[in-house]
Structure 1
């Protein structure tokens, strides 16, 4: 008897992205290995999104459209889509971004190569739609710097800790594929963590189960100053509340292992370190965490690795006099 091949669902939340949907849906339809299911959760759109989706659905019988009459937020929309998905694996796409034609195929091949994997990640690539520019993040940390060949590699939880001790590793939900059951085991996304809910999900999964890493770009992350995450992170008060919610979650028995992992590997928290340290210092009950993270950051400073302006100064002004410049992992 032939074994059943694993199935893939693409989950796409949408709110008022009618203009961009034509591009993102066309990319989904053009997959060299078609998705077995496409789940679109329209989160109370007031533009022409539903008309665009309906037109696309006439040529896509495996599409499931879920409508929220009132907007519930991106986290709720993603969670609804994950729960409605029927695939063994889930790719979390965005209405205003793009996945490349072989995205499903590459992820499926990587999972087949590493049967123990419950998570696969690819390179994080930024897309600036106004100029058409593409770049591998802002630095080498977004480039899966530890990969040394052209093929996918398995990163065990132990190796992940070893790598994080050297430098931050950017894991992004928009360039990943999850085992659906893994996401359901974790919640999937916690609304209290808001724009960091996806960060928590992918790093918790990596700490617990490891991941296979693909040294290629499989999706483009749209870069805009008014995005949900950019607006949220820019509001210091809101950002502090989200980080407090993160530590409250880590205080629970369910995620004690993730808390321990983050204490061992603080570099995973680089994206919000600038706000996190002052917030921890403000709360006496968080002094142990503040001491631990602060000690790590101080070592990074003394090594000339953080903050970014200090690292750049050393790299450009001091180190060239003694020898060739070296790559300096950036700060938060």
Structure 2
């Protein structure tokens, strides 16, 4: 199988200048290295044009309107020529040979995606490895977090460090732009894939280094708004994807608890505002058709899920 690389960018000129040469060296056998610029206002496009003089397989897609991560990623995947698409954040650097253990996995025609082993270099000096995605239904919501650093089934694959089968991406529908500007779009995609009968794996030997820069979302939105969007998207996910009666009942029963508890815990109204944003969106939510139940999927991943504290969001 051949593959394309897709990176999305918004106002990340310095990161692109520093990292694109390293990425290009690690994926020199790719059909193309696509960078989709989400209407940046800095020098990103000029930086990319200069880099394209050196890296001939670098393809630049310049958007005329800023639309957010989901729309930008979907455009990159749609434009790609490869059977497989490697999605990378602009601050992720693959280690040499990282894709070698990934290719044999795609002999399974039901395999939609493979999540890569993200070694995250935090600003406080810690190196945090992120493993398989796991989840459990708790107090009305499907909670999710990284699980063990061992190869195996994963609830989702990160759209900042994952390999995806392009034809299935298009068939499933890609990232849902209802989650814009961010938070929850990649695990929504993974959950839909599982419920449609496809599979996702995590490969511990496929290592990438994630050297965190200050994200566009943190630069652009306040903590209150980001928290509100997280709450909004949790509710969107439930109404869109959850169909088992027992989980729907749990959601309805615990909703009053969250509306009160979250407001008291944070001493603000972020959950209420997030719920209002959800209600504004509710009529635009489109429920996909699935062939598997929620219990079938959640039972795969809930045994490994551990509550580290009492936080729900």
Match of 2:81 in 1: 86
Bigger relative contact order, structure 1 or 2, given CA contacts below 8 A and separation 6+?
A: 2
Q: Post-superposition shift, 1:200?
A: 0.7
TM-score normalized by the length of structure 2: 0.66
> Could you tell me which residue of structure 2 aligns to residue 176 of structure 1?
162
Query: Are 2:253 and 1:242 aligned?
Result: no
Q: Equivalent residue for 1:58?
A: 53
- The structure with the largest alpha-carbon Rg is 1
User: Secondary structure at the residue paired with 2:42?
Assistant: coil
Aligned counterpart, 1:278: 258
After TM superposition, what 4+ stretches of structure 1 lie above 6 angstroms from structure 2? Answer: 138-143, 274-277, 280-283
Partner of 1:103: helix, strand, or coil? Answer: coil
Structure 1 distance, partners of 2:97, 2:160, is 15
- Equivalent in the alignment of 1:214: 203
Report the structure, 1 or 2, having the larger helix content: 1
Unaligned segments of structure 1, at least 5 residues: 1-5, 161-168, 251-257, 267-273, 286-291, 311-329
TM-score, L = length of structure 1 = 0.63
Note the residue ranges of structure 2 that are not aligned, 5 or more in a row.
135-144, 262-271, 280-293
Select the residue among 186, 189, 202 that pairs with 1:198.
Answer: 186
Within 5 Å, give how 1:305-324 maps onto structure 2.
Answer: 305-306=306-307, 308-309=308-309
Q: Deviations over 1:235-273 (max 9, x none)?
A: 3433333233323422xxxxxxx6449959x9xxxxxxx
Question: How many residue pairs align between the two structures?
Answer: 260
Comparing 62-71 with 213-222, greater Cα deviation is found at 213-222
How far apart in 1 are the matches of 2:257 and 2:19? 38
Gap change, CA 1:280 and 1:222, over 3 Å in 2: farther
The Cα RMSD (Å) is: 4.3
1:116-195 aligned within 5 A: 116-128=110-122, 130=123, 133-137=126-130, 144-145=147-148, 147=150, 153=152, 155=153, 171-194=157-180, 195=182
Partner of 2:68: 73
**1:30 maps to which of 14, 25, 31:** 25
Distance in 1 between residues matched to 2:159 and 2:40, nearest whole Å: 23
